[in-house]
Amino acid sequence: MPRRLLLVSNSTLHGSGYLDHCQSCVSAFFGSEVKKVVFVPYALHDWDAYTKTAREKFQSLGYEVNSIHEASDPVDAVRKAEAIFIGGGNTFRLLKSLYDHDLVSEIRSRVLEDGVPYLGSSAGTNVATVSISTTNDMPIVFPPSFTAIGLVPFNINPHYLDVDPSSCHMGETREQRIQQYHEEQDTPPVLGLREGSMLLVEGDSATLLGTTRARLFTRGRATVEYDPRSDLSFLLAN
């Protein structure tokens, strides 16, 4: 079965509620074949509250949510999952918990070998990539590795933020941070997903969806801007 991923930049867009801005894409992505979604709330501290938020949203879309933290055996929950949703929060905390529960390779196998649909948002999008080295989050805990699930052969920077010309902030811009990452050898491309954008991957096809543009950073090359509906399938060939 081909991989199916929907990698969303942000869970909440200014002026709207949880997943409201991408709910039509989520419904189209899961379709009528999926009835139950396994939710991974590890990126936030309060798993019960986070699950309640996700459960209410997905119920409104016609899907049942079973949180992995409620399962007696998290690995078995992934093995039986019809679909997987990993939400946002702190990426370091999320990846550490995935390793702690032996879920990294299990999720990779279910998605890449069995074709289980994977929805990620923010931190959940980060961990779907090569590594979490281009996350915006603080390392509040330390996972055993920065290597992530590896569902795509590049990195993503969710919540990508452009420079505000009126700002007096003197710290590095997001662009400079990513360029510093590419000063290291053998670093993959980084797709900067602005809030409101998402990447749909179906097999060897990748399409930018949403309402905002995305910016691609590749080591040794000039950055490139892409409009919504752009074909980014070439990124999957790296």
CATH of residue 101: 3.40.50.880
Give the tokens for residue 63. Answer: 């899907």
**Catalytic amino acids?**
122, 137, 159
pLDDT at 172: 85
Task: Report the percent of the chain where pLDDT is more than 70.
Answer: 100
pLDDT above 90 coverage of the chain, percent: 94
**The domain containing residue 66 runs over which residues?**
4-237
pLDDT of residue 90: 98
What pLDDT does 42 receive? 98
Residues of the chain with pLDDT under 70: 238
Query: Which of 71-83 are b and which e, b meaning 16 or more Cβ less than 10 Å from the residue's Cβ?
Result: eeebeebbeebbb
- The pLDDT of residue 134 is 98
Residue 1's pLDDT is 72
Q: Contact at 8 Å (CB) between 155 and 190?
A: yes
* Euclidean distance between CA atoms 188 and 100, whole angstroms: 26
What is the maximal distance between C-alpha atoms in the chain? 52
Q: Is 235 helix (H, G, I), strand (E, B) or coil?
A: helix
Structural domains counted in the chain: 1
- Cα–Cα distance, 64 to 36 (Å, whole number): 5
Give me 83's structure tokens: 């679909």
Report the pLDDT value the prediction gives residue 170, as an integer from 0 to 100: 73
**pTM of the shown model:** 0.96
pLDDT of residue 60: 97
Give, for 215, the enclosing helix (H) or strand (E): strand 214-217
Conformation bin of residue 36: beta by default, left when phi > 0, alpha when psi is -120 to 50: beta
CA distances in angstroms from 238 to 30, 134, 138, listed in the order given? 27, 18, 28
